[in-house]
Structure 1
């Protein structure tokens, strides 16, 4: 049974009613007269869904990016690849399951895929560390990317993490160093790199897999230096604690939505999601991603390697904007 966010609740009753009527029609071998009613309710549902998702606030976008039914990296890999061979380990410490990677073909094109994986269900989420990589996860990602460079294979990364794991063990094994090395090394890998923010792009944990020739976001994903909760805790925490209004205010200030980041030239484009979000129709969302990946790789492949690196490094150096005020 699917989960519903607070602002999705108006959809729940209609969806359950439609499912009940469809089940009744199936059980009666089509003898039920409910076809017209189902059609009418479906139209009402689609109109309501469009209305709700047309004007989502930044905080609602955050909730949607974290939706428990939202497709994760492995969901997309299973839908868009013809073949996928997962590769493991950083050859230094261990295999971090919060980061998955391997060789794949998409529409007949060989690619290397690397991405964060949050996990389904409590057991899997614990194994995957809720999508929060340790240093060995980033080192594994870099090892695989260098392998792709050696064999001239384009790279696709999927970004979906609340951030790098902040535990003591991770810090002792060089979390910040691992992220910094990725930023430096990946910027010099001379094969096409596409980064796709499919859910939550949090802090340096997302940035370490975001160095690319094309950085794009799904319509309802987020990408930010810090979570709204973390931002609110730093700025407004008090003895009274924090509430949803504080988180909403922080989300608005952070400018973390795809529209905001496109406006600031942080990302290259926004990929539309099906009505109701990617979790409402994972198949359609997957087709959108697959088509973008294929078309973009074909385009980037035409650019000479030296020029590809120059373009990437110029893009990285020009990221960001600021305004100056004088007293």
Structure 2
């Protein structure tokens, strides 16, 4: 029996508290799978206030070893996130910065990099421990600051398992559609609406998912283009409720990345409406291919992608890869849990996870 030799804590850092389903889904996954001792706010002012309010926890008593955990999201490589990580590590006096399942924008992704730039030099100076990344595009990009890491998938693939939510296997279930991106949707609502009409009957239930506050306007626009009954499910902070709603779907078309992650994790046939390389990164991890539907895709291209997603062989292949990634994520989570319990040292955290990184053929094709 191993005796816990030191008090250790895990502080989670992510884009939480902004009403975005994906970021809250990641946090809830980690809370259930590992347990989180504290959640770092994103801004420095809120971070300092958090530490002051918990002064006895953070500053008194025996020295507490602390890990700053980047548990997902497209954060690696970005200059702004390098600053967030460095500051949070200082404020919380972290002994290690660990990333598992986080992602990076592809260097050719003009959309993502037009919103915020990369600074891999700053990331290399952080001396982070990269246990594994979301997908193969991230693995390629991370060679700029680290060696090639293992692909372990998006941590939210674990959520249905740790939360005990199962897909309701009903071929007559609703068709779910998530539209919206930051700052706005990149898809033509008329093409998406025409595709949904083309693949559904008059009596099919259609659920539009507003997974972020910015998505509500896009959902209402799509609703007006459908010319048939539909309802909007608005994420209100209840991760379980929204995931359960997705679990009812017989098909999910989704522009939001974590709409796709949740659907794949549940076994729901999924068509990603891929607007940035983070969508490609995840889809490559569970299919070995980039998504077929991108901004500018026609009604027929969307319908064809849906037909393929519903094919039993395609579904089986996707679920097999998702299952492999879940197994890898479990190993990574256990590595962190062992550190937290004092079973392993911080130096032992740096040992690579025992997984081979296989690069899909499409991993080097650029995106607009």
Task: Specify the TM-score bucket, using the shorter chain as the normaliser.
Answer: 0.3 to 0.5
TM-score with structure 1 setting the length? 0.36
TM-score, normalized by length of structure 2?
0.33
Greater RCO, 1 or 2 (C-alpha within 8 Å, sep 6+)? 2
Give the helix-richer structure, 1 or 2. Answer: 1
